[in-house]
Structure 1
Amino acid sequence: MSIPSSSHPSLQKPAPTSNPPTSNITTTPTTTSPPPTPQTNPLEAKKIASLQAKITALQVQIQETEEKQKEVDAKLKHTDTQATVKAHIKLLHDYNEIRDVGQGLMGIIADTKGVRVRDVYQDFGVGEGD
């Protein structure tokens, strides 16, 4: 004769005797202050306005350079290859200088605003390929 396992005292699981311990440590949320805004700091507002004026001037300069490039491209169709290469190298050099200044200004704006450079690029509509 066999004894059912559920009725045999050695095979039954003991009942839990207490609840698991709880921690008495409480945490306080940390707060960080938002970056200063132009409304709170007039000096930064002037810096931002100055930088935005420089960016606008650089954008105009880029447009002028692109127009010159179109004119040069039209002229280059009737010139020799060495002159074409030299002209393109000059245009690339001009473009790279303008781009470097623009990126530097974007970095300064990001530092001033306390945000990432990527966020500033998005604010000005600059894509990754630009």
Structure 2
Amino acid sequence: MQSEAGAERGRGAAPAGQGALEKPEPAAPSKGGPSRRPPPRPLPSRTPTGTWRNHNAHFKSPVLLPKACPSDVANTEPLQQETEELEHKDRALEQEIGQLSAEGFSLEELDRHITLLHEYNEIKDAGQRLLGQLAVIRGVTTKELYPEFGLDLND
């Protein structure tokens, strides 16, 4: 039996104490110096391969520059008319603001009113979500719940 074990060792079997699944020790470098790693690969290029050239040379801007031509003179008339209309609306709004100020309305009152409207809408939205959840639990539509809680469908 010993001769068979010796023969096994001679054929390249693992020496005693080293399991078959363990990795063998790496071989020593051939020239006696430290092992050399291959040089790192260069990073991939983000530009197309081929001849080196200025890649921005053929860039065409999507912004069109205005050109002076006789048709532009005809296009200024509608712009002038639109400008006059806007100035007229501005004067009308200034008059309306002056009239409301004369009647006793103030900007602070308007801001307070807007704040209260936002608060009202948030509370109403929360109530609508609760009605929706209750309708799902009961298996009915929210429309059917309105009379039960004394709500009007138009609210």
Q: TM-score range by the shorter chain?
A: 0.3 to 0.5
Higher relative contact order (CA 8 A, sep 6+): 1
The two structures have a TM-score, normalised by structure 2, of: 0.32
Write 1 or 2 for the structure with the bigger share of helix. 1
TM-score, length-scaled by structure 1: 0.38
Larger radius of gyration: 2
